[in-house]
Structure 1
Amino acid sequence: MKKTILSAALLLSACAGRDVQHYAPAQPKLDVAAFFSGTTDAWGMFQKRGGEVVKRFHVTIEGKADNGTLELDEKFRYDDGSTQRRVWRLVAQPDGRWQGTADDVLGKARGEVAGNALRWQYTLLLPVDGSTYEMQFDDWMFLIDECTMINRASMRKFGIELGQVTLMFRKRSCAH
């Protein structure tokens, strides 16, 4: 019985994940609106649960910050030539967290910043072969320097990880 309770407790704690506040002392400090204002390029890939890369892509992001609201106009170009557009509307909350919406996001996305990290969670309506699936995303973004951020996202359905998305962001104003 004790072994069963211990196993259940370990399983539940594993599901809880990391707390973004763990990164509070990390430098440089991430200012979401400042980082994404202007043009940012991102390069990424989607990997299945087993590690196979099934899609690569480039994203051009145009960010505009205005009075506590940040609009991110994302234009995706995939390695198969297909394109996609997503426009995020992010709103800074009084407690320093963020909420966001986009046309292909169910409800509101939630974000919390601490130190150099942003944890961003949302449910994406993902079209696949004529059907739409509700996929839970848990994004962890880490500011490397004032020009570069890395994002690793877990994509889940019914609590089971189906794959991961990895992205590297680079501000155009930092081009050398």
Structure 2
Amino acid sequence: MRRPACLAALALLAGCAGPAVGDYAANRPLFDPGQFFLGKTEAWGMFQDRQGRLVKRFTVDMDGERLGDELVLTERFHYSDGSRQQRVWRLKPTGAGRWRGLADDVVGEAAGETAGNALRWRYTLRLPVDGKEYQVQFDDWMFLQDERSMLNRAAMSKYGFHLGEVTLFFRKPEPRP
């Protein structure tokens, strides 16, 4: 009788697994993070808590430059409460649509995977809150809409418990003639 219970549990877990990056392989335009984040990019975003309440809004100014086989992406955050933060990512393609990312406030390495117009990042971030620091897991999905626009939704959790969501809209500036 144990076997049916195990199979039922596995089926339940599989149903909760959510989408895979490969589900978006046919979507266009193709998302190349090394190309999209090169140069200047702007973003507008918000953090909502687990009940969906807006907690904080922010804007981000980004500059991406190639250094060897890495993309160095400098993000400057400006929050609605007047606080500011900077994060510098070192992003590197590792083959077959996979990326790795390093930043000072990321624990270990961020693991990224692309397919079609989608990029999924998974990483643990050291997040400062009210003078304390928490390690929070991010499941970060980016979807390229066109050559200049991208949507981003990231679920935040700790110990498997949902903490909230970060939503961002990225926009590349108009090309100059």
- Whether TM exceeds 0.5 here: the answer is yes
* Structure 2 CA distance for partners of 1:65 and 1:14, relative to 1, 3 Å: farther
Scaled by the length of structure 2, the TM-score of the pair is: 0.92
Scaled by the length of structure 1, the TM-score of the pair is: 0.93
Q: Percent identity?
A: 56
Structure 1: unaligned runs, 5 residues or longer:
none
The residue that corresponds to 1:105 in the other structure is: 106
Alignment of 1:157-176 (within 5 A): 157-174=158-175
Deviates more, 1:11-20 or 1:164-173: 11-20
Q: Measure, in 2, the Cα distance between the counterparts of 1:105 and 1:19.
A: 23
The residue that corresponds to 2:20 in the other structure is: 19
Q: Measure, in 2, the Cα distance between the counterparts of 1:50 and 1:124.
A: 21
What is the number of equivalent residue pairs in this alignment?
175
Residues 71-122 of structure 1: CA distance to partner in whole angstroms, max 9, x if unpaired? Answer: 1100000001110000000111033310011000000000000000000110
Alignment of 1:56-135 (within 5 A): 56-135=57-136
RMSD: 1.7
Structure 2: unaligned runs, 5 residues or longer:
none
SS in 1 for 2:104: coil
SS in 2 for 1:173: coil
SS in 1 for 2:174: helix
* Structure 2 CA distance for partners of 1:166 and 1:123, relative to 1, 3 Å: same
Q: Measure, in 2, the Cα distance between the counterparts of 1:38 and 1:51.
A: 33
| CA shift for structure 1 position 16 | 3.0
* Structure 2 CA distance for partners of 1:15 and 1:66, relative to 1, 3 Å: farther
- Structure 1 runs of 4+ off > 6 angstroms? none
Residues 49-86 of structure 1: CA distance to partner in whole angstroms, max 9, x if unpaired? Answer: 11100000000010112432111100000001110000
Contact 1:61 1:72 survives alignment (8 Å): yes
The residue that corresponds to 1:29 in the other structure is: 30
| CA shift for structure 1 position 128 | 1.2
SS in 2 for 1:26: coil
